[in-house]
């Protein structure tokens, strides 16, 4: 099975796990509780802009849960807002207040509903350190996964705001 966590886009060969019961969702649940999935039962996990919604103290156990359900040599495609890029853009002295407000929402979530809060910020070093500790061994940063139309390729101001990493178990 291939599992798209937090997804909305139906794609052949992929099952969707989402916290909300949207059309096309196969499993209702949360990225931080994958207990309903058997060990090594998933070949690929795709998670775009969901890991930042996990509380800091739950980040490592959540990644360990993903590692547990991934088969040997399984692949994780993970995308998160890149705090290095967002912070760099935020401190630009010529940036407008409106621009900085939108960046702040990318950092902390839009907060339009109970699911849209960001509890942790990620950069490449922090993410790969957690991935390594969770049992992943290979990491590759990419500009695009080329799998789904989502925020992993979001360029609201002409530059990408996402950190996209492919990790192997």
Give the ranges where 32-149 is alpha helix by DSSP (H).
Answer: 59-69, 83-90, 97-108, 124-134
Lookup result for tokens 């775009």 = 48
Across 134-158, average pLDDT = 93
The structural domains of the chain, ordered by start, are 2-168 (3.40.50.150)
How big is the CA angle at 15 (ends 32 and 123), to the nearest 5 degrees? Answer: 45
Mean pLDDT score of the chain:
95
| Orientation angle between helical segments 83-90 and 97-108, nearest 10 degrees | 160
CB atoms within 10 A of CB 101: 9
Digit-coded pLDDT (tens) for 22-74: 999 999 999 999 999 999 999 999 999 999 999 999 999 999 999 999 999 99
CA 91 to chain centre: 24
Answer yes or no: are the C-beta atoms of 134 and 76 closer than 8 Å.
no
pLDDT at residue 114, as a whole number: 83
Answer yes or no: are the C-beta atoms of 52 and 120 closer than 8 Å.
yes
Burial (CB < 10 A; 0-12, 13-18, 19+), residue 160, is middle
* pLDDT exceeds 90 at position 116: no
Across 129-152, average pLDDT = 95
Confidence of residue 115 (pLDDT cuts 50, 70, 90): confident
Half-sphere exposure of 10 toward its Cβ, with a 13 Å CA cutoff? Answer: 6
pLDDT at residue 157, as a whole number: 86
């Amino acid at each position: 099975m291939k599992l798209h966590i937090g997804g909305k886009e139906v794609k052949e060969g992929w099952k969707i796990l989402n916290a909300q019961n949207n059309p096309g969702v196969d499993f209702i649940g949360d990225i931080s509780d994958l207990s309903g999935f058997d060990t090594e039962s998933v070949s690929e996990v795709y998670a775009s802009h969901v890991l930042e919604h996990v509380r800091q103290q739950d980040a490592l156990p959540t990644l360990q849960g993903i590692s547990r359900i991934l088969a040997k040599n399984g692949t994780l495609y993970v995308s998160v807002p890149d705090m290095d890029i967002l912070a760099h853009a935020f401190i630009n002295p010529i940036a407008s207040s409106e621009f900085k407000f939108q960046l702040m929402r990318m950092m902390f979530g839009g907060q339009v509903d109970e699911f849209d809060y960001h509890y942790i910020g990620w950069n490449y070093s922090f993410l790969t350190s957690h991935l390594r500790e969770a049992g992943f061994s290979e990491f590759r940063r990419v500009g695009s996964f080329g799998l789904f139309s989502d925020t992993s390729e979001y360029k609201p101001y002409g530059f990408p705001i996402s950190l996209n990493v492919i990790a192997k178990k």
